[in-house]
Amino acid sequence: MKTNDIPENVLSKAREWLSGNYDAATKAEVQKLMDKEDSADLIDAFYRDLEFGTGGLRGIMGVGSNRMNIYTVGAATQGLSNYLKKAFAHLPEIKVAIGHDCRNNSRLFSETAAAIFSANGIRVYLFDSLRPTPELSFAIRELRLQSGIILTASHNPKEYNGYKAYWDDGSQIVEPHDRNIIAEVEKVKVEDIRFKGRSELIIPLGAEMDELFLRKVVTVSLSPESIKKQHDLKIVYTPIHGTGVKLVPMALAKMGFTNIIHIPEQDVVSGEFPTVISPNPEEPAALELALKKAREVNADLVMATDPDADRIGIAVKNDKGEFILVNGNQTVLIFLYYIITRRKELGLLTGNEYVVKTIVTSELAAEIARRNGVEYFDCYTGFKFIADVIRENEGKKIYIGGGEESFGFLPADFVRDKDAVTSCALMAEIAAWAKENKRTLFEILQDIYLIYGFSREKMKYVVRKGKTGAEEIEQLMVKFRNDPPKHLAGSPLEWVKDYETLLEKNLITGEEKPIHQKSTSNVLQFFTLDGSKVSVRPSGTEPKIKFYIEVKAKLGSRKEYDEVEESANQKIDLVMQDLGL
């Protein structure tokens, strides 16, 4: 290997790992990377430290400062411990909860973190086995803890793992705490990490917390009578090898559903995700086995959750009897339409309710709220920002739902992160309510478009891995910021919103307005005269730049659906061409 081809900061960090207080196996792996002719893996492993993004700490497992391993997990936990001891110095005891998903090393990382917290004198409530992310959030609130973490890489491929940190309200950490924790983590040297735990401070959490959580899940029900009449609705469910395996079927049963159909090979808990390429309910391939089963049994509804059971994917039968996947935006629309419609029918809309969506989520969600006199809030991508809106309105307004296009929804505020366990229970109820009213979920979606206008959305991402990839993504953002497209699909650009400057500008009139967000973010949005919207943002957790495209149309009747959908898809293709995608 030619060391002069490797950045000095990479060599410096790698040598620290070879000479520092790291175990022999780790040092041997670092040496292997240094001995390789191709230095790309070494550079990627050490060119930076993992940082908290929109989803916390996340990366490929392996040795190095840019990898998930016991030392990066250890530094994060030691830094978090140091910050908790400062932030809650007034308390006689600091308490945290720890959960983990099905991924390889998740249990190891969670036990490592438990030992470090306890070594720092912090009481730890450690789940006895894998649990959904929403239950970790719930447990923090239920036990009145100061913080919590869950070891998960959500829907990412099997080589990834991650570390989500939560604050005392059960939400993922936001400013200023995230910045302050990063500062503490950056001070930590390997010799500062207290790996030797105190077992007396580690308390197992098990079935008793599951029961408390499930009792809350059933409180979201708005149509219990529909479930009684349609209790034998055929529901195919898959956890895709993950943490939903027990709690989602238990939640459905507790709601009153009696006909839950499993995919046995995907009920197998495994960090290898043996039946799928990617355990992501956003990807059609992840639902192939569930859809096959649904066709065999003529199911009413197909549902899937990702490995940590915070994302929900669904499939429904269209007007031709074919199963189709419902995208994340459509899922949010169905939830909000149902919640608002039923609350109206039950006299539960007082005028003080609100919903939340992220800025990249369909504008139709805002339209549904507006037209029904329900306040709505826009926030940045990431459920920690939805939770931040809930925190700000605590005790003043009534939260009734919030979601984002990436298959996340939160039906109630007893959890402060996206919650696929409760969402699966509520979606099954919506299917039962629709069936009782002689409609299908597909017809519910069509009715939304007939009442509020038609929209079609597509997310396109460009992957650029490693250090050079990060630089390419940065240059793409500079290009779009300095030279936005003049037209999209033939319609002139009207407004540009730049969340880095918190200014929106009308390109036709020259008018400028402030954007009301508490902080800046590297996001651009383009709005055309005909109502199309494009959002551009680098991912906070993956080596991607994402383009969120939404186009509008008018649907006059259900019979026109296919034609309008096809026209909208063609328009999206034109927008992508104009963006150079």
Give 453-509 pLDDT, tens digit per residue: 999 999 998 888 777 788 889 899 999 999 999 999 999 999 999 999 999 999 999
Cα(first)–Cα(last) distance of the chain, in Å? 37
CA nearest neighbour of 331 among 404, 246, 231: 404
Q: Can you give the pLDDT at residue 48?
A: 85
Looking at every residue in the chain, the average pLDDT score rounds to 95
- Mean pLDDT confidence for 349-368: 97
Q: Of the residues 65, 154, 455, 491, which is catalytic?
A: 154
Is pTM, for the whole model, over 0.75?
yes
Is the pLDDT at 441 greater than 60, yes or no? yes
CA nearest neighbour of 222 among 258, 173, 247, 255: 255
Is the pLDDT at 54 greater than 80, yes or no? no
The pLDDT confidence band at residue 1, using thresholds 50, 70 and 90, is very low
Q: Can you give the pLDDT at residue 53?
A: 55
pLDDT tens sequence across 373-403: 999 999 999 899 999 999 999 999 999 999 9
- Mean pLDDT confidence for 216-238: 98
Q: Can you give the pLDDT at residue 50?
A: 77
d(CA 171, CA 167): 6
The pLDDT confidence band at residue 540, using thresholds 50, 70 and 90, is low
The alpha carbon of 312 is separated from its chain's Cα centroid by a whole number of angstroms, namely 10
**DSSP β-ladder status, 160-166 and 147-151:** antiparallel
- Percentages helix, strand, coil for the chain (3-state, rounded to 5) are 45, 20, 35
- Mean pLDDT confidence for 228-238: 98
Q: In the annotation, is 154 catalytic?
A: yes
Strand extents, DSSP E, 359-428 = 375-379, 398-404, 408-410
d(CA 156, CA 278): 7
Q: Which residues pair with 577 in a beta bridge?
A: none
Is the pLDDT at 446 greater than 90, yes or no? yes
CATH of domain 213-452: 3.40.120.10
Distances from the Cα of 177 to the Cα of 1, 92, 153, 450, 546, angstroms: 41, 21, 21, 44, 26
Which residue blocks in 298-357 are alpha helix, DSSP H? 328-345
Residue extents of the structural domains in the chain: 1-47, 51-205, 213-452, 454-579
- Mean pLDDT confidence for 170-194: 91
**DSSP β-ladder status, 123-127 and 202-205:** parallel
Is the pLDDT at 539 greater than 90, yes or no? no
The pLDDT confidence band at residue 52, using thresholds 50, 70 and 90, is low
The CATH number of domain 454-579, selected from 3.40.50, 3.30.310, 2.60.120, 2.60.40: 3.30.310
Tokens standing for 470?
């990060």
* Superfamily classification of domain 51-205: Alpha-D-Glucose-1,6-Bisphosphate, subunit A, domain 3 (3.40.120.10)
Is the pLDDT at 4 greater than 60, yes or no? no
Lowest mean pLDDT among 171-175, 231-235, 253-257, 450-454: 171-175
d(CA 433, CA 410): 20
Topology alike, domains 51-205 and 454-579: no
**Residue 55 and residue 154 in contact, taking contact as beta carbons nearer than 8 Å:** yes
